[in-house]
Structure 1
Amino acid sequence: MRKIKSSSIFLTIIILLLMTFSIPVKAADWDIISNPGSEQITTPPLSATSETTNVGIPAFEGTGMVQEGDTVLPIPDATIPAIPESIIGTDNRSIVSNTTLFPYRTSCLLVITFPDGISYGSGNLISSDTVLTAGHCVYDTRYGGWATRIEVYAGRDGSYSPFGKANSKSFYTLDRWINLTSKEYDYREYDIGYIKLDQKLGKTTGWLGLTTTLSNDISLTGFPAPRDRGYKMYSQKGKLKNSAANKIYYDLDTEGGQSGSSVYNTGNQVIGVHAYAHGTVNSGTRMNLQNFEIAKKIADTAILSYRSHVQNIGWQGWVNDTGISGTTGQSKRLEAINLSLSDSSYSGNIEYRAHVQNIGWQGWQKNGAMAGTTGQSNRLEALEIKLTGELAKIYNVRYRSHVQGIGWQAWKSNGQMTGTTGQSLRLEAIQIQLVKK
């Protein structure tokens, strides 16, 4: 009989014990929870970058175009009372006289329908279709849990809504905000939420940037107790007083209804989200590195714009999101093209090259540089477009071209050729889009 070593027996016993008394895996502190029926977001790996050196994401001003005559009916009074917050000494807030100016037009009045009634809140656009707000503006156990609908009015000014109304498509908050019964942490440190919209409102209004670097000079803009103050936007500049790992404290005056307002620096970058009052100081959830990474993931801010230089026309205006650049039915050649990515949250570039009459394939260009020629009457015959870096991991780039004698070709992607070579056929128009993987 073969002798079994005592060390082998000991190891076997340990394995059996581990199998019998398995320890449940604890959720990460920054797991993201979405409202039922919407897409779950997996928390991205945390960056090793120091919070004090992270410059963050810049603000984007948008086009600022205002919809003429877009008045709306008065919003019904809330059935859920606004929670009182703190006026610290003298009230130093002021009414914003022109809410269509940047960055004020990024500030949104939220009309929140919960299962148990209607409430108000504030938020700020941080991408073309994402509003940053407080966690209790999307999930509040006092009023039945998840909001069922949120109406979003950017730049609201009394009964006038210059940028119209957007509606919520889905909501997100942190697992630690949902789990209010835990004794392991203070759930109020995780009071942050996100609203995805049914339209890309931020292309018009612009949006605030994000940063983990704290600033002494800060501002807060929002809609205090809107039914009492006529849905007017108030704003104030102030000072950061203190900070902790997950919280910031400041001397900015607030009232019920301003929960969810971004606290932002002089560069219009968010450093936190207002949520609570403490009598002599108010506080918000800090845009620390973990929240920054989550916001970047949810906001997904990359916007692709492109334009083309057309025979007898010259440079056309910029288009995006599958807009047609060039012409069809006019027998005009494309001669050059620019592609540009604005305010992407991810590292990397969009790169592209053109096959040009009498030249052949040119070298790769990127982020706004011209591919093709102008003033030489040379037609574009083919294009290749690709993404690099983090962008290539998050998105596919799709494109198709309208070709002389052929019409629209099939969609190509990620470096494939659209158009023709060796056939002397001109490109006449192109469509391009980013598609999240």
Structure 2
Amino acid sequence: MAATHFQTYLVGGAVRDRLLGLPVQDRDWVVVGASPQTLLDAGYQPVGKDFPVFLHPQTHEEVALARTERKTAAGYHGFAFHAAPDVTLEQDLARRDLTINAMAEDEAGAVIDPHGGQRDIRDRVLRHVSPAFAEDPVRILRLARFAARFADFTVAPETVALMRDMVAAGEVDALVPERVWQELSRGLMEKKPSRMFEVLRDAGALARLLPEVEALFGVPQPEAHHPEIDTGIHLLMVLDQCALQGAPLTVRYACLCHDLGKGTTRKEELPRHIAHEVRSEKLARQVSERWKVPTDCRELAELVAREHTHVHQSGAFGAEARLRLLERCDAWRRPQRFAEALWACECDARGRLGLEDRPYPQRQRLLDDLAATQAVDLAAVSAEAVARGAKGPAIGAAVKAARLRALLSFTNAA
């Protein structure tokens, strides 16, 4: 029966990861020799609008018809797809981004590798499949993300050159915020996020997408606090600390933005960076608005940019100064966000050359301060203040005084 005369292949990341000896997370399938009607007749359920994607009738996994694509306009959306029974597997693989993602596996387990993906896995190289790579600027971000995942892979020189040409041609400027954030956020969560930014920088794309980050490289800091000296190198070390500690995306994004103000320090003030926190907060907001960053990441980034220096210095603070720090961080209403801010500060402190294993007692001390002040019975304190005739701000002052007493008591007991 004609409905069964098609072939199904496992393609892309599942083949790559199996060859790398990694767990296979998602399996993508391509059908060759079929039309949409062929699959419908075989019981597949359609799910795609832009190009034919179906659900397998038994496994419910997604399968796509083999297809080619043609560039029709600038940017990510500027493509026309062609899916038909005469599209071959090799044609489908040729439209993919990297050689290591352009392999397939047939039902017998044989690998189809027309572009040398197995060779590049052996040699640990990220290489584009064809000049068509240049038609989709998202691929620059995807490659950078793969560099962060496969940290021992290098990027082929001809691929770097192609990406630079793409940047020069303005392709990166056509990227939509949602796709940029999708790839940046995924790259931040990879094993070595610093690699993503190194690759973007090498391609010239970092200066277009995140000029605030690009501006940090080559900017000196006081060697006493930053043995690595270069602010950009420090940032990369902080991001890798986040990965080592298994920090969530909110913390990693906050670390990305925490020192942005140092890129705008006047030359005559270097290597010191007076009041960079205020500038960092403003620039973090600017980056978040540009790429439509989710609210939880955005808010934490601004908080950490503004307060990280105070957190670092809090070991020398008295009880009143620590209480003011908790107030500014809205720690009682947002304890989880405060805990994440402290986590970001620890990554910042450890993202320094030779200081990666240095203890950071500020984090636990401030969490203990929060716990001590959370134990205050606010209802009882407020009721007592009202009974004394207090109103409005006077009730707030009574609460603050009670929290300060609790903090002093806790500090003295410790």
TM interval, short-chain normalised: under 0.3
TM-score, normalised to structure 1, is 0.27
TM-score, normalised to structure 2, is 0.28
Query: Of Structure 1 and Structure 2, which has the larger fraction of its residues in strand?
Result: 1
Query: Of Structure 1 and Structure 2, which has the larger fraction of its residues in helix?
Result: 2
